[in-house]
Homo-oligomer: A and B are copies of this chain.
Amino acid sequence: MVKITDVARHAGVSPSTVSYVLSGKRSISEETRRRVRESIRELGYRPHAGARALASSRSNVLALMIPLRSGIAVPVVMQFAVSVVTAARRHDHDVLLLTQEEGEDGLRRVADSALVDALIVMDVQMKDPRLPLLRSLDRPSVLIGFPADADDLTCIDLDFHAAGAVCVEHLAELGHREIALIGSPPEVYARQTGYAQRVADGFAEAVRAHGLSGDVHPCEATADAARELVGRLLAERPGLTGVLVHNEPVVGTVVRALRAAGRRVPEDVSVVAMCPDEMAEHAEPPLSSVAIPAEEVGGRAVDLLMAKLEGAPVPAATLLPPTLTRRASSAPAAH
């Protein structure tokens, strides 16, 4: 294994000079820098991560804790993870993967052992048991999601409240007056993850603001439940012409159930979904939708963390504005 002293000898300088060339923390003459770089290349030198971490108390590794729970859209989690890794690499950091299962002990372990410099935690609950721990750690962290009490914590997420509202506004603009939200399974609201409730609130608020009629219907993530709910909705509310679906597994079923009941989409009923773009694009018909900008959330989370590591002040809360993409499933209301 080639070490810094080998490079130093080869370049005719001291080890500390090599270190300063690498870190740029002191000025080095152009000529020396060139020679050192050349030696590094020639010898194929890579600093030993452990030694570096020991001497500098920086591991250049971030921890990412991902959720496992059912009801969490796996592809979205994956997108997050990939975007976090990609963003971390841009800052010359690596990512250590932790599962929710490891819980607080896992976070404490990697933080206290100095395995990681900072932490990103996904799928934050309203009353998340990890929050006190994160507050007590001496390492910075960023939460993806908003807990009930976010004091002293840095959070980022899609603005779900605005997302609910933006869907309503879209339907309102198209002239729909009677709409409904087919929501997440009841346990998701009960679990107090927050985002489901925020969508519902944003929906309800916008419904009021626009003088529409519309209400919220939690729905189990099964085809049967979705069909049953659609049937009930159509029976109870014959004037219904707009539906917002915030329940990924059943979006396809909802559309098919509407059609089975003789309603054309979008001619008779407009459908808007909150789901990954990929899913919306491949649906039949392609669905107007608001997606979670996983890519951006992950990237921004890393940026926030990097800023905190450098001691820069960062906003406590970052809400990303929702973007509604119009596709074939929504159209002006008939008269």
Contacts and interface: CB of A to CB of B under 8 A. Distances in A.
A213 interface: no
A277 to B, nearest CB: 13
Nearest to A112: B46
A97 interface: yes
Interface stretch (A70-78, A198-206, A230-238): A70-78
A81 B109 contact: no
Contacts of A86: 99, 101
A171 to B, nearest CB: 26
A250 B94 CA distance: 36
How many copies of this chain? 2
A54 B50 contact: yes
A274 interface: no
A23 interface: no
A150 interface: no
Interface string A291-314: 000000000000000000000000
Given A86-B101, A95-B97, A223-B284, A50 B47 contact: no
A222 B282 CA distance: 8
A85 interface: yes
Contacts of A282: 222-223, 249
Given A59-B49, A74-B78, A77-B78, A64 B97 contact: yes
Interface in A49-98: 49-54, 59, 61, 64, 66, 68, 74-75, 77-78, 81-82, 85-86, 89, 94-98
A99 B82 contact: yes
A303 to B, nearest CB: 18
Contacts of A75: 74-75
A115 B82 contact: no
A113 interface: yes
A228 to B, nearest CB: 14
Interface string A108-130: 01101111000000000000000
Given A85-B97, A223-B284, A115 B74 contact: no
A94 B96 contact: yes
Interface of A: 1, 44, 46-54, 59, 61, 64, 66, 68, 74-75, 77-78, 81-82, 85-86, 89, 94-99, 101-102, 109-110, 112-115, 222-223, 249, 252, 282, 284
Given A50-B50, A223-B284, 13 more contacts: A49-B59, A49-B113, A50-B54, A74-B78, A85-B97, A85-B99, A86-B99, A86-B101, A94-B96, A94-B115, A95-B97, A96-B97, A252-B252
13 contacts: A46-B109, A49-B114, A64-B97, A74-B74, A77-B78, A82-B99, A85-B97, A86-B99, A95-B97, A96-B97, A222-B282, A223-B282, A223-B284
